[in-house]
A and B are shown apart, each in its own frame.
Chain A
Amino acid sequence: MVLHRVEDTILVGLLLTMIGMAVTQIFLRNLFEAGIVWSDVLVRILVLWVGLVGAMVASRQGNHITIDILDRYLPAHAKKVADFVVELFTALICTVVAYYSLVFVQMEFTDGGMAFAQVPNWLCEAIIPFAFTVIALRYFILSFISFKKIVESRS
């Protein structure tokens, strides 16, 4: 899928930028006792971005960290229902978080603070509502697929 490839490319780009910036900073500091002033801030924001984009990618197949103690002992049909319920639950929770983090980003937008160089705070924070929207959508799709499986196994 094109979307997946775009997402993967962004993820790779973010990590390589992160390594590049961090290593450059070490050289500048140790060799020239200098440094790019905003580099540290940028790298820290990249960590957040890498984490959230990574989490988006993990949501494609629902590969998040779970405590599935009961899950593996359920009979096949009950498992399908359980999958549907937890996926729908996850999608709804992410929707709530996406909405309220969007409100937060809007507040920051009107505030107009700068994170570093000429980059405003709200832009750095925008990944939060974006990531949660994508994760929510993916879990809605997953729950829809699980729902279809339940219906199919009934008929």
Chain B
Amino acid sequence: MTLFIFALILFLLAILGAPLFAVILAVAILGFHHLDVNLSVIAIEIYRIADTPVLLALPLFTFAGYVLGESQTSRRLVRFTQAFLGWMPGGLAIVAFVACAFFTAFTGASGVTIVALGALLYPALTQAGYREKFSIGLVTSSGSLGLLLPPSIPLILYGIIAQQMNIGANVAINDLFLAGLLPGLLMVVLLSFWSMWENRRNPIPYKPFSVREAIAALREVIWEIPLPLFVLGGIYGGFFAISEAAAATAMYVIVVEVFIYKEIKLSQLPAIIRESMVMVGGILLILGVSLASTNFLIDAEVPARMFDLIQSHVTDKIVFLILLNLLLLILGAILDIFSALVIMVPIILPVAVSYGVDPVHLGIIFLANMQIGYFTPPVGMNLFIASYRFNKPVTELYQAAFPFMIVLFAAVLVITYWPALSLVFLHR
């Protein structure tokens, strides 16, 4: 009974806006106290952050993403994709999807995609003849597209949390990066087809392919083209570990944006570092304290009990996956992605593994659902950012983004029930 009251109080504090790290810490404190464990164990658990080599990737990729967000990369990226993809039917919409996916993969869906790319794409789309509602819906929903593509921060974070769980199966971040490629591509392809269908009676003038423009755009973006190659080529070519790829990316981005493009002054760098590290601090703090509470959950055999409870009602893997999708969609609508990862992965992962779901596949399912959560009310972050940026009421944005949500939901279903799409490159 007292346990129930404590849980209720903490839940209330959480939804009233208490920092998540404090709520998780309170759970850990109460839990360890209950088990008669000295509370110093919390500090030991937090110190595990320093025992996780791959975590280095988190601050470095986040920093690189912030630098790219502050420079003119977004403009160059749009020009480049427009020059090479703009001639296709449905061209500009496809341009928007591809550019957003790439940009978000690097900037980690922190909302900067809408601010930096949306501000360019939205006027471009309406000018090209796309309907207002379609354009704003596209921009709002594309702000989280690319979450499944390397080196997205949530993907890395999922890997780190899963690695701390000792579930038997190995969850390498390299594998997660490969696993996200085709599902991410599927989303872009489905959205592109839908845009063409949606605009079938709305003839958008074709823009012929221009070799000159293509070369000019390529030359402009030439220093940023190597970035994805760095990450993927470096890691899978065996030159870099993930954390090294992150260090190289961070260094490269500083050199390119500060010294070659000269779009960021050296004096601006400290402010960018501070902004990005505040973000990293927030994530690392909830990660660190969740290491403590996860340990308590495992001590108290919560995942095992959860599994027994669910197993007594649901024996079928497919039914389990359907329920999982529903749960994740709801969670995605009320939790931001980082909270959802640290709270839910430690509970869901062992249960899903018991049902025979591959942990890497689960990560892709998890993030694919969360991606939709970015623009579902009440807390979908992209709705608020787009509302602020384009000066539109949130309800209007929600309606505009709804069709895109349905398309992405279809993609999530495919991703969920076709594990091979995620696992094909992994030799499992």
Q: Which residues of A contact B (CB under 8 A)?
A: 8-9, 11-12, 15-16, 18-19, 22-23, 25-26, 30, 40, 43-45, 47-48, 50-58, 62-71, 74, 82-83, 85-86, 89-90, 93-94, 96-97, 100-101, 103-105, 107, 124-125, 128-129
Q: What are 23 pairs between A and B in contact, CB < 8 Å?
A: A11-B274, A12-B269, A12-B273, A22-B60, A26-B248, A43-B56, A48-B284, A48-B288, A53-B281, A58-B285, A64-B19, A67-B17, A82-B17, A83-B17, A86-B13, A89-B18, A89-B22, A89-B26, A93-B22, A97-B39, A101-B43, A103-B40, A104-B43
Question: Which B residues touch A30, using CB under 8 A?
Answer: 239
Given contact pairs A55-B281, A89-B18, A19 touches B247 in the complex (Cβ within 8 A): yes
Chain B's interface: helix, strand, loop or mixed, by majority?
A: helix
A54–B278 contact, CB under 8 A? yes
Chain A's interface: helix, strand, loop or mixed, by majority?
A: helix
Q: Give Cα A140–Cα B307 distance, bound, in whole angstroms.
A: 41
18 A-B pairs besides A69-B334, A71-B17 with CB distance below 8 A are A8-B270, A12-B270, A18-B56, A22-B243, A23-B248, A26-B248, A50-B281, A57-B274, A58-B281, A68-B16, A69-B15, A71-B15, A82-B17, A86-B16, A100-B39, A101-B40, A101-B46, A104-B40
A65–B20 contact, CB under 8 A? yes
Selected interface stretch from B47-55, B116-124, B133-141, B361-369: B47-55
Selected contact of B15 from candidates A16, A68, A90, CB within 8 Å: A68
Tell me the total A-B contact number using a CB cutoff of 8 A. 203
Selected contact of B285 from candidates A55, A70, A71, A89, CB within 8 Å: A55
B51–A44 contact, CB under 8 A? yes
Q: Tell me how many residues of B have a C-beta within 8 Å of chain A.
A: 64
A125–B47 contact, CB under 8 A? yes
Selected contact of A51 from candidates B22, B25, B270, B281, CB within 8 Å: B281
Give the nearest-CB partner of B60 in chain A. Answer: A19
Q: Which residues of B contact A (CB under 8 A)?
A: 13-22, 25-26, 29, 38-40, 42-44, 46-47, 49-53, 55-56, 58-60, 63, 239-240, 243-244, 246-248, 250-251, 254, 269-270, 273-274, 277-286, 288, 334-336, 338-339, 378-379
